[in-house]
């Protein structure tokens, strides 16, 4: 990976690549070729000195084979299969002095660059950052940005883990986005995928043992984290992670599906990664963090390394989502079945204990699952709570959001349970105004065979659940992506405008009431009636009352002198016994005294 000099002025750079199985490696740079030499100090590495300037195209040939892009390429101007380009990170003049923003007291917002706006670019997304600052969001979580085939896709089939998808605007556009976000007080989180690459455009197997068939994942063979050659593979992934944080000013990383990072070494990859990220935070003098996606319900992920954990800073909490979703919708298929038998009881358990599956039997898995959280050691902010995500919307057959089937009142209930709850809240783009647009699964594979395989696989998957083939959107049809783009004009119309105002009000309360930032899960108190479908919880002096039924509910809050701070429908004060009558499909936030 070359390191260029001053803008527009070629300087001698060292090109280097790890190719331990090659007998000969050739650098192809701007039409010229030169043989590379083995590095005497690093086994398997090849180096060559050559003059290069920012934007110079280059690639490597192994044993007289085709010219391949650099595994550590900083830019792929012509896509994953094209030549790499030199990037001089020193060229960008940062406008904003940024001291960072950590996870405590955060409100995250998950955003897909390709559908957040119709234009589908980082610059167009940056033009909408003012909406998020006004909403009260603290961090924007970008879905993956690494290069992938075609123009549009979710980003989870990316390759070139050091580069930015060119149709989104490439490296400079990401820097502009981060700069503008920081200028408005917003941190930036990037979703990164370490558990698989490609398959299309993935040239890593030609360079070295990046993958192993010792384990298998839903995407095929696993990344080699513990076999022969895995030292360099781990260094590759960690180097990529640090580059996003250092070179682009990113504040945190969301790690995709860490349960598929198979590693039997004594020092687990995630522990090594968290150690390096904490070290970089000390070096840069600003907070950096890692958020895991995991279905393991294993508190060791977010337990500090000093206490025997892996030291990640937070994780998505799907148990909270599943309990909330079943309580709102009554759905019971798949993994929702574990929560649907008593959804309010499941919701109560997650709000007070973090995980629902803490060693309990999971009918979906056919075995016991999870492990209890130690509430004396794990702060609530280390778990992210949400009612919708790209996964939970986009992996439905038609990509339908909650707004497609729930009343605005129930959407308001979902919002208050998420935003006023103990976990770090995360929103999925558009939910704050009850967007009517779906968010569907779409791809733009340039390989016709792969495109057809994805299309058939999608239809076969949902046909098994009773869906007609014609009802499953074609991932390769450009209209599928177009349908998934947000309609920003909705914000000004009802009922969207009212929902948006509710989200703003709730987020402002979260920022303004210290009790709503209390990280102590053990201090949360809940009550509920499964049959009457009401739910209430207390956090310090704050009471939250939620009525999911269509009929009014008398909800005991044990707070006769509480005053109403916010309510979806008008409510009176609690009676002398502290009972509050809440209209059907509505909710309220109150404060004692």
Q: Which of 141, 157, 293, 490 is catalytic?
A: 293
| C-alpha span between 313 and 514 (Å, rounded) | 21
Q: What is the dihedral of CA 365, 366, 368, 369, to 10 degrees?
A: 0
Annotated binding residue 444: no
Asked about 256 being catalytic, the answer comes back as: yes
| C-alpha span between 336 and 362 (Å, rounded) | 10
Residue 191: which H helix or E strand, with range? strand 187-192
Angle of helix 496-512 relative to helix 408-419, nearest 10 degrees, comes to 20
Angle of helix 318-329 relative to helix 408-419, nearest 10 degrees, comes to 160
Annotated binding residue 112: no
Annotated binding residue 394: yes
CB 429 within 8 A of CB 109: yes
Tokens 């009850």 belong to residue: 434
Q: In the Cβ-directed half-sphere of 151, how many Cα atoms lie within 13 Å? A: 11
SS3 193: coil
SS3 534: strand
3-class DSSP string for 26-75: EEEECCEEEECEECCCCCCEEEEEEEECCCCEEEEEECCCCEECCCCCCC
Q: DSSP per residue over 275-300, as a string?
A: HHHHHHHHHHTS--EEEE--SS--GG
Annotated binding residue 392: yes
CB atoms within 10 A of CB 518: 17
CB atoms within 10 A of CB 592: 17
Q: C-alpha angle 322/327/331, rounded to 5°?
A: 70
Annotated binding residue 390: yes
Enter the tokens of residue 21.
């199985």
Whole-angstrom Cα Rg for the chain: 25
Annotated binding residue 258: yes
Annotated binding residue 325: no
Annotated binding residue 319: yes
Q: Which of 88, 256, 263, 278 is catalytic?
A: 256
**Residue 412 CB-density burial (10 A; 0-12 exposed, 13-18 middle, 19+ buried):** buried
| C-alpha span between 434 and 122 (Å, rounded) | 23
Strands of the 534-539 sheet, one edge to the other: 525-529, 534-539, 542-547, 586-591, 563-567
Annotated binding residue 391: yes
Annotated binding residue 254: yes
| C-alpha span between 452 and 532 (Å, rounded) | 48
Enter the tokens of residue 123.
């610059």
Annotated binding residue 529: no
SS3 125: helix
Annotated binding residue 257: yes
Please, what is the end-to-end C-alpha distance for the chain in angstroms? 62
The DSSP symbol for 549 reads S
CB neighbour list of residue 450: distance below 8 Å, 6 or more residues apart: 199, 200
Annotated binding residue 86: no
| C-alpha span between 82 and 69 (Å, rounded) | 6
Annotated binding residue 295: no
- Determine if residue 45 is left, alpha or beta; phi over 0 gives left, psi from -120 to 50 gives alpha, anything else beta: beta
* Enzyme catalytic residues: 256, 293
Binding residues for substrate, by number, are 254-259, 318-322, 390-395
Binding residues, by number, are 254-259, 318-322, 390-395
């Amino acid at each position: 990976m070359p390191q260029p000099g001053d803008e527009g002025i070629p300087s001698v750079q060292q090109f280097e690549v790890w190719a331990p199985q090659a007998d000969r490696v050739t650098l192809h740079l701007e039409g010229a070729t030169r043989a590379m030499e083995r590095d005497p100090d690093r086994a398997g590495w090849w180096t060559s000195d050559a003059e290069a300037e920012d934007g110079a195209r280059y690639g490597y040939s192994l044993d007289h084979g085709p010219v391949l892009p650099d595994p550590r390429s900083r830019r792929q101007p012509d896509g994953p299969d094209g030549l790499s380009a030199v990037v001089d990170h020193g060229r960008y003049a940062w406008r904003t002095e940024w001291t960072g923003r950590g996870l405590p007291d955060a409100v995250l917002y998950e955003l897909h660059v390709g559908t957040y706006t119709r234009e589908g670019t980082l610059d167009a997304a940056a033009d909408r950052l003012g909406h998020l600052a006004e909403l009260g969001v603290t961090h924007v979580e970008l879905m993956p940005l690494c290069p992938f085939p075609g123009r549009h896709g979710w980003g989870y089939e990316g390759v070139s883990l050091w580069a930015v998808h060119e149709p989104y605007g490439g490296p400079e556009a990401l820097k502009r986005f981060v700069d503008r976000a920081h200028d408005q007080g917003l941190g930036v989180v990037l979703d990164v995928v370490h558990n698989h690459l490609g398959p299309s455009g993935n040239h890593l197997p030609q360079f070295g043992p990046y993958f192993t068939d010792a384990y298998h994942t839903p995407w095929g063979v696993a990344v080699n984290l513990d076999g022969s050659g895995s030292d360099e593979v781990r260094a590759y992934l960690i180097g990529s992670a640090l580059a996003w944080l250092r070179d682009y000013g990113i504040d945190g990383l969301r790690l995709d599906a860490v349960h598929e990072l198979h590693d039997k070494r004594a020092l687990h990859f995630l522990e090594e990664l968290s150690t390096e990220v904490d070290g970089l935070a000390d070096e840069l003098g600003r907070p950096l963090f890692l958020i895991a996606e995991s279905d393991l319900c294993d508190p060791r992920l977010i337990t500090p390394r000093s206490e025997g954990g892996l030291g990640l800073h937070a994780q998505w909490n799907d148990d909270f989502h599943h309990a909330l979703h079943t309580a709102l919708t009554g759905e019971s298929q798949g993994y929702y079945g574990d929560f649907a038998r008593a959804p309010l009881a499941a919701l109560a358990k997650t709000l007070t204990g973090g995980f629902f599956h803490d060693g309990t039997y999971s009918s979906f898995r056919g075995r016991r699952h999870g492990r209890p959280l130690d509430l004396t050691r794990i702060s609530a902010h280390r778990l992210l709570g949400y009612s919708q995500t790209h996964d939970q919307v986009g992996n439905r057959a038609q990509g339908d959001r909650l707004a497609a089937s729930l009343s605005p009142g129930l959407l308001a209930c979902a919002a208050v349970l998420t935003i006023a709850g103990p976990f770090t809240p995360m929103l999925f783009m558009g939910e704050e105004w009850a967007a009517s647009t779906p968010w569907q699964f779409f791809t733009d594979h340039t390989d016709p065979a792969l495109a057809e395989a994805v299309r058939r696989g999608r239809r076969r998957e949902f046909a098994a659940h009773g869906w007609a083939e014609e009802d499953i959107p074609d991932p390769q049809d450009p209209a599928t992506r177009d349908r998934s783009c947000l309609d920003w004009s909705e914000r000004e119309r009802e009922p969207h405008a009212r929902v948006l105002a509710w989200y703003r009000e709730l987020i402002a309360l979260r920022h303004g009431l210290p009790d709503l930032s209390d990280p102590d899960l053990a201090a949360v108190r809940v009550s509920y009636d499964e049959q009457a479908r009401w739910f209430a919880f207390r956090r310090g002096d704050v009471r939250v009352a939620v009525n999911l039924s269509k009929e009014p509910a008398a909800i005991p809050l044990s707070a006769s002198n509480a005053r109403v701070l916010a309510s979806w429908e008008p409510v009176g004060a609690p009676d002398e016994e502290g009972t509050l009558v809440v209209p059907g499909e509505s909710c309220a936030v109150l404060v004692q005294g």
